[in-house]
Amino acid sequence: MTEALFIGFAAMLVASSLLVILHRNPVASALFLVLAFCSLAGIYLLFHAEFIGMVQIIVYAGAIMVLFLFVIMYLNLQRDEEGGVHIALRRGLGWVAGTVVLAEGVFMLARRWAPGPLTPEVPGEAAGNTQQLGMLLFSRYLFPFEVTSLVLLVAIIGVVVIAKGRSTAGSGTRPAPGEDG
Amino acid sequence: MNVLPTPVLLAVDWWALGAVLALSAGILLLLLLEFFPAQARSNRSAIVALLTLAAAGWSVFHVRDAKREIFGGMFVHDGFTVFFTLLFCAAGALAVLLSWDYVKRTRINQAEYYALLLSATAGMIIMAASNDLITIFLGLELMSLALYVLVGFQRHHLESNEAALKYFLLGAFASGFLLYGIALLYGATGTTGLGQMAAVMIDSPMLGNPLFLLGGLLLIIGFGFKVSAVPFHMWTPDAYEGAPTSITAFMSVGAKAAGFAALLRVLMRAMGDVQADWIPILSGLAILTMTVGNITALLQNNLKRMLAYSSIAHAGYVLIAVVAGGRDGAASALFYLAIYAVMNLGAFGVLTLLGREREERVLISDLAGLGFRHPALGIALTLFMISLGGIPPTAGFMAKVYVFSAALNAGLVPLVIIGVLNSVVAIFYYLRVTVALYMEEPQGEPVYVSWATPGVIALIASVVLTLWWGIQANGLLAAAQRSVLGLL
In a domain, A119, yes or no: no
CATH at A6: 1.20.120.1200
Residue of higher predicted confidence among B268 and B11:
B268
**What percent of chain B clears pLDDT 90, i.e. is strictly above it?**
61
In a domain, A34, yes or no: yes
Q: Is A136 on the interface with B (CB under 8 A)?
A: yes
Cis peptide bond upstream of B231, omega within 30: yes
> In the prediction, which pLDDT does A81 show?
57
> In the prediction, which pLDDT does A107 show?
77
Question: ipTM, 2 decimals?
Answer: 0.89
In a domain, A11, yes or no: yes
- Name residue B76's amino acid: V
Give the residue-averaged pLDDT of B9-19: 74
In a domain, A99, yes or no: no
In a domain, A49, yes or no: yes
What does the mean pLDDT of chain A come to? Answer: 78
Q: What are the C-alpha distances in Å from B341 to residues B50, B90, B388?
A: 18, 9, 10
Structural domain that includes position A134:
128-170
Q: Give the integer Cα–Cα distance in Å for B221 and B231.
A: 9
* Residue B294 pLDDT exceeds 50: yes
Q: Is B173 on the interface with A (CB under 8 A)?
A: no
Single residue among A49, A76, A103 that ends a domain in this structure:
A76
Residues of A whose CB is below 8 A from B155: 162, 169
Give the residue-averaged pLDDT of B283-308: 93
Angle of helix B79-105 relative to helix B326-353, nearest 10 degrees, comes to: 10
Residues of A whose CB is below 8 A from B42: 172-173
Considering only alpha carbons, which residue of chain A is nearest residue B139? A147
* Residue A83 pLDDT exceeds 80: no
Give the residue-averaged pLDDT of A88-117: 76
Q: What are the C-alpha distances in Å from B9 to residues B6, B14, B71, B421?
A: 9, 10, 8, 53
> In the prediction, which pLDDT does B6 show?
53
Per DSSP, helices labelled H in B369-473 are 370-373, 375-389, 395-409, 413-439, 453-471
**pLDDT (tens digit, 9 = 90+) per residue, B383-410?**
999 999 999 889 999 999 999 999 999 9
Query: Residue B69: which H helix or E strand, with range?
Result: strand B68-70
* Residue B66 pLDDT exceeds 90: no
Q: Which of A143, A155, A173 sits opposite B110 (nearest CB)?
A: A173
In a domain, A82, yes or no: no
B74 contacts A143? CB cut-off 8 A: yes
**pLDDT (tens digit, 9 = 90+) per residue, A51-63?**
888 888 999 888 8
Single residue among A76, A95, A111 that ends a domain in this structure:
A76
Residues of A whose CB is below 8 A from B135: 143-144, 147
Q: Give the integer Cα–Cα distance in Å for B322 and B299.
A: 28
A158 contacts B145? CB cut-off 8 A: yes
Alpha-carbon torsion (A54, A60, A62, A63), positive or negative:
positive
Considering only alpha carbons, which residue of chain A is nearest residue B150? A158
In a domain, A106, yes or no: no
Q: Which of A139, A160, A172 sits opposite B110 (nearest CB)?
A: A172
Q: Is A153 on the interface with B (CB under 8 A)?
A: yes
* Residue A179 pLDDT exceeds 50: no
Q: How confident is the model at residue A128 (pLDDT cuts 50, 70, 90)?
A: low
A127 contacts B41? CB cut-off 8 A: no
Beta-carbon contacts of B223 under 8 Å, excluding residues fewer than 6 positions away, are B178, B259, B260, B262, B263, B266
Q: Give the integer Cα–Cα distance in Å for B351 and A144.
A: 38
Residues of B whose CB is below 8 A from A154: 116, 119, 142, 145-146, 149
Per DSSP, helices labelled H in B209-302 are 210-226, 235-242, 245-265, 275-297
Q: With beta carbons less than 8 A apart as the criterion, state whether B355 and B482 touch.
A: no
Q: Which of B107, B142, B155 sits opposite A172 (nearest CB)?
A: B107
Q: With beta carbons less than 8 A apart as the criterion, state whether B303 and B348 touch.
A: no
Q: Which of B56, B80, B58, B57 is nearest to B68 (CA)?
A: B80
A114 contacts B187? CB cut-off 8 A: yes
Q: Is A83 on the interface with B (CB under 8 A)?
A: no
Residue B184 CB burial class (10 angstroms; 0-12, 13-18, ≥19): buried
Give the residue-averaged pLDDT of B339-351: 94
Give the residue-averaged pLDDT of B342-348: 94
B72 contacts A155? CB cut-off 8 A: no
Q: Which of B149, B156, B191 sits opposite A158 (nearest CB)?
A: B149
| Least confident span in A60-69, A82-91, B353-362, B428-437 | A82-91
* Residue A170 pLDDT exceeds 80: no
Q: How confident is the model at residue A126 (pLDDT cuts 50, 70, 90)?
A: very low
Q: Is B156 on the interface with A (CB under 8 A)?
A: yes
Does A70 lie in the same domain as A3? yes
Beta-carbon contacts of B39 under 8 Å, excluding residues fewer than 6 positions away, are A173
Closest Cα in chain B, distance from residue A150 (Å)? 7
Closest Cα in chain B, distance from residue A161 (Å)? 7
**CA–CA–CA angle A56, A57, A62 (5° rounding):** 115
Q: How many CB atoms lie within 10 A of CB A46?
A: 16
Kindly state the greatest CA–CA separation across chain A.
Answer: 65
Q: Is A127 on the interface with B (CB under 8 A)?
A: yes
> In the prediction, which pLDDT does A147 show?
94
In a domain, A61, yes or no: yes
| Least confident span in A125-139, B71-85, B305-319, B430-444 | A125-139
Q: Is A178 on the interface with B (CB under 8 A)?
A: no
DSSP-assigned beta bridge partners for residue B40: none
B1 contacts A158? CB cut-off 8 A: no
A158 contacts B188? CB cut-off 8 A: no
> In the prediction, which pLDDT does B273 show?
76
Q: How confident is the model at residue B380 (pLDDT cuts 50, 70, 90)?
A: very high
Give the residue-averaged pLDDT of B226-243: 91
Q: Which of B301, B307, B306 is nearest to B363 (CA)?
A: B301
Q: Is A100 on the interface with B (CB under 8 A)?
A: no
Give the residue-averaged pLDDT of A24-29: 84
Give the residue-averaged pLDDT of B438-444: 82
Q: Which of B339, B258, B332 is nearest to B481 (CA)?
A: B332
Give the residue-averaged pLDDT of B82-104: 93
Residue A122 CB burial class (10 angstroms; 0-12, 13-18, ≥19): exposed
Tell me the three state secondary structure of residue B355. coil
Single residue among A57, A76, A95 that ends a domain in this structure:
A76
Residues of B whose CB is below 8 A from A131: none
> In the prediction, which pLDDT does A85 show?
67
pTM (2 decimals)? 0.88
> In the prediction, which pLDDT does B444 show?
76
Q: Give the integer Cα–Cα distance in Å for B346 and B461.
A: 9
Q: Which of B428, B306, B301 is nearest to B368 (CA)?
A: B301
Give the residue-averaged pLDDT of B160-165: 90
Q: Give the integer Cα–Cα distance in Å for B2 and B390.
A: 62
| Least confident span in A75-84, B246-255, B314-323 | A75-84
* Residue B4 pLDDT exceeds 60: no
Q: How confident is the model at residue B103 (pLDDT cuts 50, 70, 90)?
A: confident
**pLDDT (tens digit, 9 = 90+) per residue, B184-195?**
898 888 888 998
* Residue B1 pLDDT exceeds 50: no
Q: How many domains does chain A have?
A: 2
